[in-house]
């Protein structure tokens, strides 16, 4: 736990020294309805950052820009000091992994086959996997504790098991950065903590840089090194959980009164919604 | 079934096996038919019959391969297990193109117009059925139904305007037949070349097919250029569909039945499915054509092979709609 309690002194409002950094992002799917309006944030190496914000605040769009699926109409993204669009697709996929919100299509692939797909940025044109690729996939299953599902069809797994397999696929990519879009939506509390505990381990034990979009303020506050609160396409607040999880910060953004208390065991803040 | 690594050795062995299947089915189909050639004493007549049968078997093979590959590609890229050139209206568009070119132009233009008709249809179906880049599964199928109705009306209009003799030809051709009345060896070679090229291209795109079938964002984040993949695949699938329609008319459901039967055996991996679809599609249509020729031996009349595939494929479509499809939509 000691590593978690470390004060993120290296973090500041600027993007200097960040591993993955977005600066003044502007984006609109349809003209006149901007989703992002000058959003700036950064992910420091070896940290777990949670991106919070109300529905429609641009969180998913932000992630899709950060993994190169969308190009911003203004602003820039830098990965390890280089502009994101300077990376060839394959090279980018070997550095940044993405766990989208809706990942299930009942196509019939097993968990192992799904995880092997994470090797595709590493394989050749016909997609033959080497023994090294199989080793990486097996290892990813082991790290996510999903080995026993290896030969089961993805659609036959429970939501929590499936999400761990998808995270295993991201790990098989051997990326530096993993970005996840609401990885615990639809999961019960045991699996919510299972997933965030796993992300926490990836950060502290393996030095991965992890960014997760979340709707669960208390869960994010319990696990993240740093929180970024997005509102109407801009960053409304960023900092440690103690800095962001405060009624005067959250209430105006969510438009509803909240009460914040501190967990006596972990020292982390948590949120109680109050009726308006 | 235990997941096993796909090694180059396994890949080549499987491919060889599928090619052998196609050759064996083709050899059987050349040897059998309405007439018993082995009892004849005139070598010239036997040679002529064998020559025609070889033409039929090769035509069925290249058309079957082309349609199975197109069906597999549409199912992967449209992320819809019921997508197929005939159901989507792509074959109908190609048919309209071929009929229009046959009215005013030489026979060489037929595959080109077939291709254009197919390509325009794919573009229209995709544009209508997608919303913000997402394809609604049922909208896609309904769009195909409406497009097919439109093309059907256009073709009926044309048949109403042409001479009765031409009308009969068009109506028969629209059933999907492998005709030996006027063998067009060069067109068989063109369709065969295109089908082979499509098979090789799709073999290299198969990794991307797998990822797009799982999800477009997943594919993009794993380094697949999704928009380019979609464009190349749709153009190629239209090309082989258009050319095969120019050769044998719109033959339905091969592109549906063949990939699904293979998935039941091989699983969902397109790296395994692409070479299998080419050879198994060829084998399937050669066998179907053999059935029509054997029926000719019994009844004296050969039913068009397209009628046979539609009568088998229709119930198969309903089976898929009730089982695999329902399971899929429930999970979403």
Of A106, A112, A163, A211, which to mutate for an interface test with B (greatest number of B Cβ within 10 Å)?
Answer: A106
pLDDT computed for residue A105 by the predictor: 67
Side-chain-side CA neighbours of B265 within 13 Å: the count stands at 11
Answer yes or no: do A117 and B214 touch at CB < 8 A: yes
In this complex, is the C-beta atom of B203 within 8 Å of any C-beta atom belonging to chain A? yes
Answer yes or no: do B271 and A118 touch at CB < 8 A: no
Answer yes or no: do B6 and A129 touch at CB < 8 A: yes
DSSP secondary structure letter of residue A153: B
**CB contact burial B273-311 (16+ within 10 A = b; e otherwise):** bbbbbbbbbbbbbbebbbbbbeeeeeeeebbbbbebbbe
Q: In the predicted model, is pLDDT for residue B328 greater than 80?
A: no
Class of domain A2-95+178-273: alpha beta
Name which of A29, A90, A125 is nearest B204 (Cβ-Cβ).
A125
Structure token digits, residue B211: 């990822």
The angle subtended at Cα A223 by Cα A264 and Cα A135, nearest 5°, is 140
Say if B23 falls within a structural domain: no
Grade residue A104 by pLDDT with cuts at 50, 70 and 90: low
* Rounded Cα distance, A138 and A125, in Å: 22
Say if B39 falls within a structural domain: no
Answer yes or no: do A150 and B223 touch at CB < 8 A: no
Query: Span A231-248, mean pLDDT?
Result: 94
Structure token digits, residue B281: 């599609």
Strand A258-262 vs strand A269-273: parallel, antiparallel, or unpaired? antiparallel
Contacts of A123 in chain B (CB under 8 A): 207
Answer yes or no: do B8 and A64 touch at CB < 8 A: no
pLDDT computed for residue B137 by the predictor: 74
Name which of A93, A104, A107 is nearest B223 (Cβ-Cβ).
A93
Q: Which residue of A has its CA nearest to B10?
A: A128
pLDDT digits (tens, 9 = 90+) for A115-171: 999 999 999 888 899 999 999 999 999 989 899 999 999 888 888 889 999 999 999
Grade residue A17 by pLDDT with cuts at 50, 70 and 90: low
Instruction: For residue B189, give how far its alpha carbon lies from the nearest alpha carbon of chain A (Å).
Output: 27
**Which residues form the domain of B183?**
61-331
Q: In the predicted model, is pLDDT for residue A114 greater than 80?
A: yes
Answer yes or no: do A90 and B206 touch at CB < 8 A: no
Q: In the predicted model, is pLDDT for residue A274 greater than 90?
A: no
Q: In the predicted model, is pLDDT for residue A174 greater than 70?
A: yes
Instruction: For residue A88, give how far its alpha carbon lies from the nearest alpha carbon of chain B (Å).
Output: 8
Say if B155 falls within a structural domain: yes
Say if B20 falls within a structural domain: no
Grade residue B133 by pLDDT with cuts at 50, 70 and 90: low
Lowest-confidence pick of A61-65, B98-102, B175-179, B280-284: B175-179
Ordered by start, the domain boundaries in chain A are 2-95+178-273, 102-174
Share of residues in chain B with pLDDT > 90 (%): 56
Q: How many domains does chain B have?
A: 1
In this complex, is the C-beta atom of B215 within 8 Å of any C-beta atom belonging to chain A? yes
pLDDT computed for residue B325 by the predictor: 56
Structure token digits, residue B253: 């459901």
pLDDT computed for residue B10 by the predictor: 93
Most confident of A17-21, A261-265, B29-33, B58-62: B58-62
Grade residue A2 by pLDDT with cuts at 50, 70 and 90: very low
In this complex, is the C-beta atom of B9 within 8 Å of any C-beta atom belonging to chain A? no
pLDDT computed for residue B49 by the predictor: 87
CATH of the domain at B218: 1.10.3470.10
pLDDT digits (tens, 9 = 90+) for A184-214: 988 889 889 999 999 999 999 999 999 999 9
Instruction: For residue A223, give how far its alpha carbon lies from the nearest alpha carbon of chain B (Å).
Output: 25
Query: Span A233-245, mean pLDDT?
Result: 95
Grade residue B292 by pLDDT with cuts at 50, 70 and 90: very high
In this complex, is the C-beta atom of B76 within 8 Å of any C-beta atom belonging to chain A? no
pLDDT computed for residue B25 by the predictor: 97
Lowest-confidence pick of A173-182, B42-51, B193-202: B42-51
pLDDT computed for residue A252 by the predictor: 93
pLDDT computed for residue A103 by the predictor: 54
pLDDT computed for residue B173 by the predictor: 86
Strand A34-43 vs strand A20-28: parallel, antiparallel, or unpaired? antiparallel
Say if B14 falls within a structural domain: no
Say if B194 falls within a structural domain: yes
Say if B52 falls within a structural domain: no
Of B2, B83, B209, B218, which to mutate for an interface test with A (greatest number of A Cβ within 10 Å)?
Answer: B218
* Rounded Cα distance, B35 and A254, in Å: 81
Q: Indicate the average pLDDT of chain A.
A: 89
Strand A48-52 vs strand A209-213: parallel, antiparallel, or unpaired? parallel
pLDDT computed for residue B1 by the predictor: 54
* Rounded Cα distance, B322 and A184, in Å: 32
Contacts of A172 in chain B (CB under 8 A): none
Give the start-end residues of each E strand in A100-233: 177-181, 209-213, 226-231
* Rounded Cα distance, B33 and A108, in Å: 40
Does residue B314 or residue B134 have the better pLDDT?
A: B314
């Amino acid at each position: 736990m000691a590593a978690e309690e470390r004060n993120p002194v290296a973090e500041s409002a600027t993007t200097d020294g960040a591993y993955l950094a977005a600066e003044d992002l502007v984006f609109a799917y349809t003209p006149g309805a901007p989703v992002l309006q000058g959003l700036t944030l950064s992910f420091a190496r070896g940290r777990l950052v949670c991106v919070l914000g109300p529905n429609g605040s641009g969180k998913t769009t932000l992630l899709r820009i950060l993994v190169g699926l969308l190009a911003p109409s203004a602003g820039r993204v830098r990965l390890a000091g280089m502009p994101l669009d300077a990376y060839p697709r394959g090279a980018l996929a070997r550095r940044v992994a993405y766990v989208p919100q809706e990942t299930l299509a009942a196509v019939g692939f097993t968990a192992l086959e799904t995880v092997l797909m994470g090797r595709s940025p590493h394989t050749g044109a016909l997609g033959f996997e080497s023994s090294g690729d199989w080793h990486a996939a097996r290892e990813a299953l082991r790290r996510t504790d999903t080995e026993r599902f290896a030969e089961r069809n993805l659609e036959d797994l429970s939501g929590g098991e499936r999400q761990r397999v998808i995270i295993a696929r991201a790990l098989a990519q051997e990326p530096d950065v993993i970005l996840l879009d609401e990885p615990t939506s639809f999961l019960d509390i045991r699996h919510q903590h299972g997933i965030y505990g796993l992300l926490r381990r990836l950060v502290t034990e393996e030095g991965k840089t992890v960014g997760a979009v979340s709707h669960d303020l208390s869960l994010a506050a319990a696990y993240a090194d740093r929180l970024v609160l997005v509102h109407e396409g801009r960053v409304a607040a960023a900092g440690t959980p103690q800095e962001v999880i405060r009624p005067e910060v959250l209430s105006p953004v969510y438009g509803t009164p909240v009460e914040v208390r501190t967990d006596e065991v972990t020292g982390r803040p948590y949120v109680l919604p109050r009726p308006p | 079934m235990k997941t096993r690594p796909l090694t180059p050795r396994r890949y080549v062995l499987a491919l060889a096996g599928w090619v052998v299947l196609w050759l064996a089915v083709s050899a059987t189909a050349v040897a059998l038919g309405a007439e018993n050639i082995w009892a004849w004493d005139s070598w010239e007549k036997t040679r002529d019959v064998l020559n025609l049968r070889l033409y039929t078997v090769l035509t069925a093979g290249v058309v079957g391969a082309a349609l199975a590959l197109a069906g597999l590609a549409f199912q992967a890229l449209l992320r819809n297990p019921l997508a197929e050139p005939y159901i989507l209206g792509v074959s109908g568009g190609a048919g309209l193109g071929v009929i229009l070119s046959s009215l005013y132009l030489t026979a060489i233009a037929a595959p080109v117009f077939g291709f254009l008709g197919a390509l325009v249809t794919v573009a229209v179906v995709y544009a209508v059925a997608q919303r913000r880049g997402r394809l609604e599964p049922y909208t896609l199928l309904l769009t195909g139904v409406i497009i097919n109705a439109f093309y059907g009306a256009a073709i009926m209009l044309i048949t109403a305007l042409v001479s009765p003799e031409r009308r009969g030809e068009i109506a028969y051709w629209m059933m999907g037949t492998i005709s030996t009345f006027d063998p067009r060896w060069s067109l068989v070679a063109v369709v065969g070349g295109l089908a082979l090229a499509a098979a090789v291209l799709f073999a290299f795109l198969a990794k991307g097919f797998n990822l797009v079938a799982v999800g477009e964002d997943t594919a993009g984040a794993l380094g697949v250029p999704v928009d380019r993949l979609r464009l190349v695949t749709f153009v190629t699938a239209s090309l082989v569909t258009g050319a095969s329609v120019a050769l044998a008319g719109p033959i339905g459901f091969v592109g549906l039945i063949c990939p699904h039967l293979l998935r039941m055996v091989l699983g969902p991996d397109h790296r395994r499915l692409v070479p299998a679809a080419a050879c198994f599609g060829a084998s399937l249509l050669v066998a179907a054509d053999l059935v029509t020729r054997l029926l000719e031996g019994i009844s004296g009349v050969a039913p068009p092979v397209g009628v046979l595939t539609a009568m088998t494929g229709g119930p198969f479509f309903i089976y898929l709609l009730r089982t695999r499809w329902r399971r899929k939509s429930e999970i979403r």
